[in-house]
Structure 1
Amino acid sequence: MIKIGCSTLFFWEYPIEEIADIFQDLGLRCMEFFPENPDFWKKRDSLDYVNSLKDVLSKFCLTVHAPYIELNPSSINPYIQKASIMETLWAIELANLYGAKYLTIHPGKRPTSRAPTEDEYIKFYEYLDISLKYAEEKNIILCLENPRKKVNNICYSVEEMKSVLEKFNSKNLKMTLDFAHARENSSNFVDELHEQIKNVHISGVIDNKDHYPLRYSMVDFSEPLKKLVHEYGYKNCINLELNDLNYNKELSNQPFKKRLNRKRWPTLESKTFLKARDEKISEVIKEIEYLEELIGK
């Protein structure tokens, strides 16, 4: 059976306990837990609160996503790089506490729209050295996520991701494949690195923007996804990573992106203004059904 999950960030405005209840009601087997969910983030220094969630989160095949907002492990600003390292070490402890085997981390980048220099790579490798040492102590596998194809991003290409994984050659460093980030290059990632892929993010791409509903994606991920599951035997979590800002007013109180082709977007069946929570549940149900159909049970 396919192990489908969802990112907690899609339900960012709700407490983690309520998100867990929603996921259980939806029959989700997996959860990608983002500690940067606002409710958790505000209480992260309360050991009683953090520990209280162990039973709640133990009901899922859990993966954790290390903090990344405002951070950059390749920053040549020593304060930003140190903060990135410390937050990843904290996330490793959190994953260990909650019984998660895999922790998604982001590669570094150059903060300007220019190709990374040797300095950025030195900082990135330093970040990985420190993080991997602690991950090995805690028996956590770090999964490096492929970013969008941008000139300043590290590891957006199959070749560079493969090079970094081979450079460190560690059983504690693998990969999170984000299909939407990979776009049309998904098949190459699957063919070249299927043995290294231990976690999956998936969402749709519309007008070259990601984290839209998968069922309306302008990029077809069916073949590489089926190949990963059926030919290469991927058995870990496939996590929906949706952004509620990409929906219409009824769901997120935000208008469509201007570049979105409205003709491709169906109106919600209900004419009434439902609560955002109920609409998000309805949306995830549709995505689960589509993903199951896409892969084949």
Structure 2
Amino acid sequence: MFFHEFRAEEIFESARDAGCTSIEFWLETPDFWLNGMDTDKLRRIAGNFPVLLPFTIHAPVLDLNPCSVNPFIVEASIKSSVLALKTAEICGAEIITIHPGRRTAKRPAGRRDYEKFQNYIGIVREESRNLKVKVCIENMEYKVNSLFHHPEMIHRLLKEEEWLYFTLDTAHALASGERLLDRFIDLNFDRIVNIHLSTIENSRRHLPASGDAKISDFLKKISDLGYDGHITLEIEDLNFPDKLSIEEKTEIISSEIKYVSSFFR
């Protein structure tokens, strides 16, 4: 979402100019979401930037919740994920990341919420059975109504669903402490194929990673372990004091790439 307000062509162009070797395209980017969700157009745009291929996709989540108490929200959430799977496959995306959902009320998730999740993941499993794209579940930040925010929760899920992969979100993990970030790696390293990389500071989430000691330790650890999957820079532009131009955003991404790359030489 760092380039949320720009056209798809501008997003891919900026990623290329910054030195990226891939990109995670958020399907809820307004240029795609509000202009007919033209999958063929997205595939053509991506094809114009071969240095960014294969790219990854993030399924829609902003207004959605497959574990909602509202059956209409559940239906819309499942349909959106199925559409995202088909879009990812048509576009030749390597990975698609999904969220597990949450309890609607701000109360601890219970049996019914996990039953709803099992229904959702079962549908995703069947819809992805003959697809090449890898489906990744993302760990959530701990909140009272969160599902799958703890390393052991993700580990159990990945053991039960052997077809499923893992997108590790470092900011979500760090919100509960640096120890949990290490635990996510120790338990689930062999299933991580995408990392949403950013850090936290007090109540601010998804800050640039460069210069952060916790992230430096994390990058050194996964490099030593031989990680060779995607690393997606997930930066919240609203954390910056001023509105950033597309050129300024490209410079920030370029600087972050240099920092991350220094751990993998």
* TM, length-normalised to structure 2: 0.92
- Deviation, 1:201, is 0.4
Distance 1:158 1:46 in 2: 37
Deviations 1:248-272 (A, max 9, x none): 1252xxxxxxxxxxxxxxxxxxxxx
Which of the numbers 221, 225, 229 marks the counterpart of 1:227?
Answer: 221
Contact 2:19 2:257 (8 Å CA) reproduced: no
Contact 1:186 1:221 (8 Å CA) reproduced: no
- Deviation, 1:52, is 3.4
Fraction of identical pairs, as percent: 34
| Residue 255 of structure 1: aligned partner | none
Matched, 1:280 2:249: yes
Matched, 1:134 2:127: yes
Matched, 1:212 2:207: yes
Which of the numbers 168, 182, 187 marks the counterpart of 1:177?
Answer: 168
Matched, 1:52 2:44: yes
* TM, length-normalised to structure 1: 0.83
The 1:24/1:151 distance shift into structure 2, 3 A limit, reads same
Runs ≥4 residues deviating over 3 A:
44-52, 56-59
Contact 1:202 1:239 (8 Å CA) reproduced: yes
Distance 1:25 1:54 in 2: 14
Contact 2:166 2:191 (8 Å CA) reproduced: yes
Matched, 1:105 2:98: yes
Q: Secondary structure of the residue that 2:104 maps to in structure 1? A: coil
- Deviation, 1:25, is 1.5
Tell me the amino acid that sits aligned with residue 190 of structure 1. Answer: I
| Residue 193 of structure 1: aligned partner | 188
Q: Which has the larger radius of gyration?
A: 1
Matched, 1:37 2:6: no
Q: Secondary structure of the residue that 1:137 maps to in structure 2? A: coil
- Deviation, 1:101, is 2.0
Stretches of structure 1 lacking an aligned partner (at least 5 in a row):
1-8, 252-275
| Residue 27 of structure 1: aligned partner | 19
- Deviation, 1:12, is 1.2
Tell me the amino acid that sits aligned with residue 98 of structure 2. Answer: I
- Deviation, 1:54, is 4.6
The 1:68/1:284 distance shift into structure 2, 3 A limit, reads same
Q: Secondary structure of the residue that 1:290 maps to in structure 2? A: helix
Contact 1:116 1:154 (8 Å CA) reproduced: yes
Contact 2:103 2:109 (8 Å CA) reproduced: yes
- Deviation, 1:58, is 4.8
| Residue 234 of structure 2: aligned partner | 241
Tell me the amino acid that sits aligned with residue 277 of structure 1. Answer: I
